[in-house]
Chain A
Amino acid sequence: MTNVLIVAEQSNGSLKKSSLNAVGAGQLLAARTGGQLHVALLGQGVGGAPAQLAALGVTVHVAEHAALAHGLAEAAAPVVAALARAVGAGYVGGAATSGGKDLLPRAAALLEAAMATEVLAFAGDGAQVLFRRPMWAGNVVADVELATAVKVFTIRPTEFAPAAPAAAPGEVKAVAASVDAAGLKTRFVSFEEVKSTRPELTEARVVVSGGRGTKGDFKPIEALADVLGAAVGASRAAVDAGWVPNDWQVGQTGKVVAPELYVAAGISGAIQHLAGMKGSKVIVAVNKDPEAPVFAVADYGLVGDLFKVLPELTEKVKAGK
């Protein structure tokens, strides 16, 4: 019997949605191994997040400490490792957020564990779990075995169903986190949030993205996004040019999205961009170049100038409401 520990994340006292997907993945693993599922929540002022987790029917271990307030990996990794040992976890995982990718490999090293990043599914048989994950910008899908006693992973949130509320809530336990705050070599300075009234990119039902073809003018992209209640995304070229925030990049090294509708305008469709949006239900591409590779993955391609096409589409949507 091997227990499972999922590291959840909160911000300002509410649970991150991707943590629900991570707990969902943890449930699948616990069912495979016959073990128990434990969830860790670290921070300072975690608000209603522990209750949100307990509602899923899992045992929640809450570690609160001033030094854990900003999610510094150096401070959090030993706490995660100690908890993993205490609950007898053979699997330790979380969502493939920037926080998860920063923290979990550091915790894995302390646990002498090997790790799989951006897991898409659990393959293999029964308790013999193989981790299915993308390689080479999603050109390849690999089934990977982790040959260490403890196995660590991050899951791609779009690939796992969120955990559902349970009939009976789980227990919430306080963990005495021993953090040597004075000995920390990493200091938090500041966080500048990209404030937006639009939905979060990875959670939106519709995403409208722009690329180099916008020449820096994202107005048509944003106007369409706003009538659709959509999030705005971008290609690397648009972000590198400084036209839009880093946080908008979709792709191999940006966000991975899987909305019901993804509109790519003025984006050529490089493999690294496709890696972040191929999982969308319906893909629309608007591009001047009929040979643009993005058309090969688009359900509906429209060859044309985005500065003409997007405003027209925006008007249509408005009229149809």
Chain B
Amino acid sequence: MALKILVTAKRVEDPESKIRVKPDGSGIVTDGVNYKLNPFDEIAIEEALRLKEAHGGEVVVVSIGGDKSQTEIRAALAMGADRGILLRHEGPLDPVVVSALLAKLVEQEKPDLVLLGKQSIDDDQNQAGQYLAARLGQAQGTFASKHESLESEAEQKRQPGLKLAADGQRLTVVREVDGGVETLDLALPAVVTVDLRLNKPRFASLPGIMKAKKKELKDVPAASLGVDLTPRVLVRRLAEPPKRQGGLKVADVEELYKKLHEGAKVL
């Protein structure tokens, strides 16, 4: 009943970094920007580890990108993933290409479950998992969450939020959707994308970091998988959004009410 899980680890700009656009609009200024594991992928990796701890199995982590993406794979290995695969590719990527590469990797690795983040915090597309599920013809559970809060006892105990059926053939997924919470039952193998409230990812321990250095990290040229790597989403121009004119302070509720009532006329 052990589960083999493939989980993604994208290298992205640190969400704390200030992102600025180059004057010619051709890209963002990368000087002084830190990089890290996509926050949603960190949650996906945590969930994969909890599932493995509960049911046994293997966690394989994959990143598509340049040399530097090895850092994010090592970060996942330090959290506890078993081995890593870098699909080496320099240059622009989009969910069409990413999902095509992942589908090839699924053919080779045959995992029971692919776990991805719901979105990359750089392109904010929220697509790769859904494309992948379609390509594989598998069940899809997007925006996975759970009923218990991140302060709950179940969370303290690091229980998986995704529930494997007793026969090991199906997975129950609780999803965050507009207007409420939906529960789906997926036949495995399946594709699941995770939302923010599925779990609180662990920090890598020092022994974990030491062990990660010795774990297998396969380096595979993306071009060797026989996938058309031509980008289909072409970013033509970047700009900064219009700035809001804010910053005015009022002294008290009296003044605030007056401004809203008589000035802006919104009350």
Contacts and interface: CB of A to CB of B under 8 A. Distances in A.
B256 A302 contact: yes
Interface in A281-306: 281-284, 290, 295-304
A241 B151 CA distance: 6
A106 interface: yes
Contact of B250 (A206, A253, A301): A301
Contacts of A223: none
B177 interface: yes
Given A102-B142, A241-B149, A242-B151, A115 B125 contact: yes
Contacts of B94: 114
B90 interface: no
Interface stretch (B54-62, B64-72, B80-88, B241-249): B241-249
A246 B186 CA distance: 22
Nearest to B131: A109
B253 A108 contact: no
A236 interface: yes
B249 A313 contact: no
Contacts of A118: 124
Contact of B253 (A117, A130, A302): A302
Contact of A189 (B172, B231, B254): B172
A299 B245 CA distance: 7
A242 B255 CA distance: 34
Interface string A100-141: 011111111110001111100000000000100111111111
Contacts of A303: 249
Interface stretch (B2-10, B45-53, B107-115, B133-141): B133-141
A313 B124 contact: no
B11 to A, nearest CB: 14
Contacts of A136: 13, 19, 28, 121-122, 124
Given A186-B139, A295-B247, A143 B237 contact: yes
A99 interface: yes
Contacts of B247: 295-296, 298, 301
A134 B241 contact: yes
Given A106-B140, A185-B139, A300-B260, A246 B126 contact: no
B227 interface: no
Contact of A193 (B122, B134, B179, B260): B179
Interface string A58-70: 0000000000001
B210 interface: no
A142 B260 contact: no
Interface string B179-205: 111111111001000011100000000
Interface in A248-269: 252-253, 255, 260-261
B96 interface: yes
Contacts of A309: 253
Contacts of B246: 283, 295-299, 301
B184 A186 contact: yes
B248 A185 contact: no
A50 B159 CA distance: 44
Interface in B124-171: 124-127, 129-131, 133-135, 138-143, 145, 148-152
B233 A114 contact: yes
Given A108-B127, A239-B197, A241-B150, A313 B256 contact: yes
Interface stretch (A20-28, A29-37, A145-153, A161-169): A145-153
On chain B, which size bracket covers the interface?
35 or more
Given A74-B139, A272-B15, A297-B244, A247 B176 contact: yes
Contacts of A99: 177-178
B267 interface: yes
Contacts of B118: 253
B231 A109 contact: no
Contacts of A312: 253
B162 to A, nearest CB: 13
B234 interface: yes
Contacts of A114: 94-96, 232-233
Nearest to A298: B246
Nearest to A187: B185
A58 B56 CA distance: 54
Nearest to B39: A253
B185 A246 contact: no
A102 B127 CA distance: 8
B184 A189 contact: yes
18 contacts: A11-B179, A70-B182, A101-B126, A106-B134, A109-B96, A115-B125, A136-B121, A145-B236, A190-B182, A191-B181, A191-B183, A192-B180, A192-B183, A240-B151, A247-B176, A301-B248, A317-B267, A320-B261
Given A105-B127, A117-B126, A185-B138, 15 more contacts: A98-B177, A98-B178, A101-B142, A118-B124, A139-B19, A144-B234, A145-B233, A147-B234, A186-B184, A192-B182, A242-B149, A247-B179, A247-B180, A253-B195, A283-B244
Interface of B: 13, 15, 18-19, 21, 28, 94-96, 99, 118-119, 121-127, 129-131, 133-135, 138-143, 145, 148-152, 172, 175-187, 190, 195-197, 230-241, 244-250, 252-254, 256-257, 259-261, 264, 266-267
Q: Which 8 A-B pairs have the closest CB atoms?
A: A242-B149, A109-B134, A105-B130, A185-B139, A114-B232, A189-B183, A105-B127, A185-B187
